[in-house]
Structure formats: structure tokens, C-alpha cells
Homo-oligomer: A and B are copies of this chain.
Amino acid sequence: MTYELRAESPQAARTFARDLVVEQTVEVPDGCYSEEIERTVVSRIEALDSADAGRYRLVVSASPDLVGGQIGQLLNILFGNISLFGGVRLVAVEWPAAILEALPGPTHGIPGLRRRCAAPSRPLLCTAIKPVGKSSAQLAADCAAFARGGADLIKDDHSLTEQATAPFAERVARCQEAVEEANAATGGNSWYLPNLPGEPRRLEERLDLLARVGCRGVMVSPLLFGLEATADLARRRELAILGHPTFSGALFGEDHGIAREVLFGEIYRLLGCDGVIYVNVGGRFGWSLEECQAVNRALRARLDDILPAFPAPAGGVQADEVGRHLERYGADTMILIGGSLYQQGDLERATAELLENLEAVSA
């Protein structure tokens, strides 16, 4: 993998690089372990080059044997204890085949979601029901309107969990039913993706409910739901998974953290997300177009036999910008739009117009 280090001199960068490979593996001073462990366990420094002023580019090889298929240990190596150093940023990973084989990757990916949505070439349209505080009946009515308008996917807001106003079991049953009724009326293919809360002790009960009511996908927030739990869910090969970026923001420091395209474009994808929600340029979070494009490229890139996943740039996407959105991001994109449809009042009509517009600009 490749890190950017901040260091005051080439000598300091060399010391930093050695500290880093020790910290991500043996975590013990030189001399406390055998030659064999030095050779087989401590990551190897492949290159250390000066980049911009005060920045160095470090290329490191770690042994895949240290990881197995364990996501916790993978993150320990990529950005575990070394996250506690200042000034180190993980900017690229060359994934060894052994790691890729051990991770689930998307179950449906771009081709599978396209098939299920009967949308072979245009961007998918995903809407969000919100806000928390509405009743299950109100949220189900919103679902119905989005579905009648032709949205491909209709997801819960990530704040919707077990609030008394719309507890999970009630909300899921009502929203799923509303979407199915709308599909039956219009001949459409909309599907509803509830936000799956994270308590492991309630997971089986919730998955049973989803199977019972016919839900085929969920949204999870991997950093809070659990990275291992996300991968375990994907390994069941039952549900489509949309990954939400909540709690990730501190990782994107200029000098410290993980590059967006590594976290969202590679790690989320390898954990099994079929679609990855992240932050749209020009929205309310201030990411640059290049940062978004890097995530998109990674999600769609060839990576052994891991399926590509849909990028879903989100946050302040405006319904009337859909042409620009397509131009920027290309057709293999999930357009995620919520507030802008709610602002128009009539959800069904706003969704239908958006879809029409999307089909026109995609033609």
C-alpha cells in the first residue's frame, strides 16, 4: 500500500517509515523478535520518495498471511495504530489476490442492480424517505408516492432506526407493502431499502422480518453497523446492500487519514456494498469534483472478479441538475435525491419528472 507521510526531512521520513512498518505489524522495539519475524511479519519498505514540500510517498508491502480474511486485522494493518501517529495518509492499496478472495465483495453490483431495476443503461434513481419523526404511515405514503413516480430504489433516511414514531418492524412492513402496491398498480420495479440498525442481538429477528415481508435490500452504515458485520451480511448473499458514509468524515484529513477512493471505492465495495453513498460535489459537504471522480473510478474499476458497485453521490443533489450530474459522473451512477423532491411538495410528480428528465438526458 502507499502512504503519504508528513516529515521535516528525508531522515525524519525514513525514521517515520520504519516506525510505521513496525507499528502496523510487530509493535515492539527492534531486537525483541527473531530474524524470521523481521523477514516474514514486518512490512517491507519498497520505496520512499520525496513528494511535495514536507511530504513523502511511502510504498509498503505487508504480508497477506497476517490478515487472512479478517477485516479488523486488515484495517489494523492499513490504518490501525498508525492512525494514532500524526501526518500519515493511506492513499492507495494494491490488493493481493489472497485478500480479495477472502472478502465478499458486492452480491449484485452494478449489473445485478441494473437487472433488478430493469434499467439497463441509464443512471439509477434512488430517493430517501425522511425525516425521522414522521409516522410509519406517513413514511409509507412517501414510499408509495416515490414508487408511483418511478424511483428505482427508495431508502430510509439513515436516522430511521427504532424511534417510537416509526419502529423498524412496523415501518418496514408498511413501507414494503406500499411499494409493492404501487408496483402492482404501475407495473414498476421500485424497491424499498430499510436502514438496518446495528445491534447484533437483534439481527436475526430483523433479517427474518425482511425475508417475511419480501425486502430484497437494506442500507447499512458500515462504520457504525460494524465493518465485519457488513461483510458477514454480504456473505449471506441475500440482500442488496447500500453503504452509508455516516461517521467517516474525520478520516479525510488533508495530511492524515484514508483517501476517499480507498475507503468508499475499495473498502466499502470489498465489504460487500452494491452501492456506496458518499458526498456529492457542490452539495452541503464541500467535496471537489476530482475527489468524487476518484471514488467513482475505484467503485467501477476492474478488481479481479469483484463486481463493480454503484457510486451514489448524495447530499444536496438538486432535481433540476440531473443533466449536469450525468455529465459529471456518467451513466453508471445512482442518483440519490431526497430533500429536493420534498421541496417540490408533490413527491410522485417530482419523481416522475425527474425520471423523465433522466431518461431524456441519458438517451
Instruction: Flag whether A157 is at the interface (Cβ < 8 A).
Output: yes
The stretch that binds B, out of A25-33, A117-125, A300-308, is A25-33
- In the complex, chain B residues whose CB is within 8 Å of the CB of A34: 133
Instruction: Flag whether A226 is at the interface (Cβ < 8 A).
Output: yes
- Assess the A72–B250 pair: CB atoms within 8 A: no
| Chain A positions 316-351 with a Cβ under 8 Å from a chain B Cβ | 338-339, 342-343
Choose among A29, A79, A245, A250 the residue with the greatest number of B CB atoms under 10 Å from its CB.
A250
Known: A80-B246, A201-B235, A247-B83. A224 touches B257 (CB 8 A): no
- Assess the A245–B200 pair: CB atoms within 8 A: no
- Assess the B221–A200 pair: CB atoms within 8 A: no
- Assess the B159–A247 pair: CB atoms within 8 A: no
Choose among A83, A249, A284, A342 the residue with the greatest number of B CB atoms under 10 Å from its CB.
A249
Report the separation of the CA atoms of residues A133 and B65 in the bound assembly, to the nearest whole angstrom: 10
Instruction: Flag whether A198 is at the interface (Cβ < 8 A).
Output: yes
- Assess the B157–A27 pair: CB atoms within 8 A: yes
Size of chain A's interface in residues, with CB distance under 8 A?
A: 82
Report the separation of the CA atoms of residues A72 and B223 in the bound assembly, to the nearest whole angstrom: 9
A313–chain B nearest beta-carbon distance, Å: 12
Instruction: Flag whether A73 is at the interface (Cβ < 8 A).
Output: yes
Report the separation of the CA atoms of residues A161 and B66 in the bound assembly, to the nearest whole angstrom: 8
- Assess the A29–B224 pair: CB atoms within 8 A: no
The stretch that binds B, out of A36-44, A53-61, A92-100, A179-187, is A36-44
- Assess the A68–B161 pair: CB atoms within 8 A: yes
- Assess the B253–A130 pair: CB atoms within 8 A: no
Instruction: Flag whether A281 is at the interface (Cβ < 8 A).
Output: no
- In the complex, chain B residues whose CB is within 8 Å of the CB of A148: none
Report the separation of the CA atoms of residues A71 and B73 in the bound assembly, to the nearest whole angstrom: 23
- In the complex, chain B residues whose CB is within 8 Å of the CB of A84: 245, 248-249, 279, 285, 315
- Assess the B200–A247 pair: CB atoms within 8 A: no
Report the separation of the CA atoms of residues A124 and B285 in the bound assembly, to the nearest whole angstrom: 45
Q: A211-251 vs B: 1/0 string, CB under 8 Å?
A: 00000000001011111110110010000000001111111
- Assess the B221–A162 pair: CB atoms within 8 A: no
- Assess the A133–B33 pair: CB atoms within 8 A: yes
- Assess the A224–B224 pair: CB atoms within 8 A: no
- Assess the A247–B28 pair: CB atoms within 8 A: no
- In the complex, chain B residues whose CB is within 8 Å of the CB of A81: 158, 245-246, 249, 315
Contact of A199 among B70, B75, B134 (CB under 8 A): B70
Instruction: Flag whether A110 is at the interface (Cβ < 8 A).
Output: no
Contact of A249 among B82, B132, B284, B342 (CB under 8 A): B82
A213–chain B nearest beta-carbon distance, Å: 21
Known: A65-B164, A72-B225, A246-B83. A25 touches B279 (CB 8 A): no
- In the complex, chain B residues whose CB is within 8 Å of the CB of A37: 131, 133-134
Can you sample 29 A-B contacts with CB below 8 Å? A25-B132, A29-B342, A29-B343, A32-B130, A32-B131, A66-B132, A66-B159, A70-B162, A70-B199, A71-B199, A71-B224, A72-B161, A72-B224, A72-B225, A76-B221, A77-B159, A79-B247, A81-B315, A82-B249, A83-B246, A84-B279, A84-B315, A200-B232, A225-B226, A225-B228, A226-B227, A226-B228, A226-B229, A228-B229
